[in-house]
Amino acid sequence: MDKGESIMFNTVKEAWSEVGGLSKPSKMPSFGYSLSAFKCKVGSKLRKVLNSTCANCYALKGRYVFQQTQDALDRRLEKVENNPKWVDAMIFLVLWYCTKTEVFRWHDSGDVQSLEHLLKIVEVAKCTPNVKHWLPTREVGIVQEYKKLYGDFPSNLVVRISATMVNGVPHKFHKHSSTVATSHDLAIGHLCPAPKQDNKCGDCRACWDTNIKNVTYLEH
């Protein structure tokens, strides 16, 4: 499928409205898709746990908690769950916006809600093979269910299981993961360079790299 090709959409604006819009985090090199962190299933439980990776969630602070922002994030979730045009619209937008950057980030805020939600993301990845997708998640049960039923993820979709505790160890059951550490010497695998780069990815694409098993982020 070429850039912008779609049997359902004539304009970017039309596709944009079908998914509730994309996000553009200042740290990221490309567009992404975010949902409300208040709707995270595992994350909502972890927020109540001292020293968990969700106890100090950045997506529950600052601009994320503005009512206008939360309304937009909630609209996106409604689109994911109920709009039959969502997958086609996302394919259109990823092809339109990410042909040059070649990367797309899922859920800088929020998380996968169900197996059906994950299957839709997989379909978008399959239909945009020249774009690398990165999906961080704490929904281990949903990922396990997918792998049991469907096997491996598409080669251009890196699903990273996020550790539940600060200074915790990577999950063992899945080949890609991420951890959060309080200092450089506690990092496991690749250490995210963003803190030394004005809190930006720069030219680093480790999170999207299938050859990197674990990425460690310094605690916010």
Residue 121 in contact with residue 88, Cβ under 8 Å?
Answer: no
Q: Is residue 3 part of a domain?
A: no
Grade residue 181 by pLDDT with cuts at 50, 70 and 90. Answer: very high
Q: Which two tokens stand for residue 153?
A: 């993820």
Measured CA to CA in angstroms, residue 134 lies from 8, 10, 62, 153 at distances of: 26, 27, 24, 11
Q: Is residue 82 part of a domain?
A: yes
Highest mean pLDDT among 4-8, 62-66, 172-176: 172-176
Mean pLDDT of 16-37: 93
Look at the chain and report how many structural domains it folds into.
Answer: 1
Grade residue 27 by pLDDT with cuts at 50, 70 and 90. Answer: confident
pLDDT score recorded for residue 5: 46
Contacts of 107 (CB under 8 A, 6+ apart): 32, 33, 34, 35, 135, 136, 137
pLDDT score recorded for residue 106: 98
Q: Is residue 16 part of a domain?
A: yes
Q: Which two tokens stand for residue 155?
A: 């080669």
Q: Is residue 40 part of a domain?
A: yes
Grade residue 182 by pLDDT with cuts at 50, 70 and 90. Answer: very high
pLDDT digits (tens, 9 = 90+) for 32-44: 999 999 999 999 9
The mean pLDDT value of the chain amounts to 93
User: CA angle at residue 96 from 192 to 89, to 5 degrees?
Assistant: 100
Q: Is residue 79 part of a domain?
A: yes
Q: Is the pTM of this model over 0.85?
A: yes
Q: Is residue 212 part of a domain?
A: no
Q: Which two tokens stand for residue 95?
A: 């092809």
Q: Is residue 191 part of a domain?
A: no
Burial classification of residue 220, based on how many CB atoms lie within 10 Å of its CB (0-12 exposed, 13-18 middle, 19 or more buried): exposed
Q: Is residue 123 part of a domain?
A: yes
Mean pLDDT of 4-17: 78
Mean pLDDT of 6-26: 88
Grade residue 9 by pLDDT with cuts at 50, 70 and 90. Answer: confident
Host domain of residue 81: 12-165
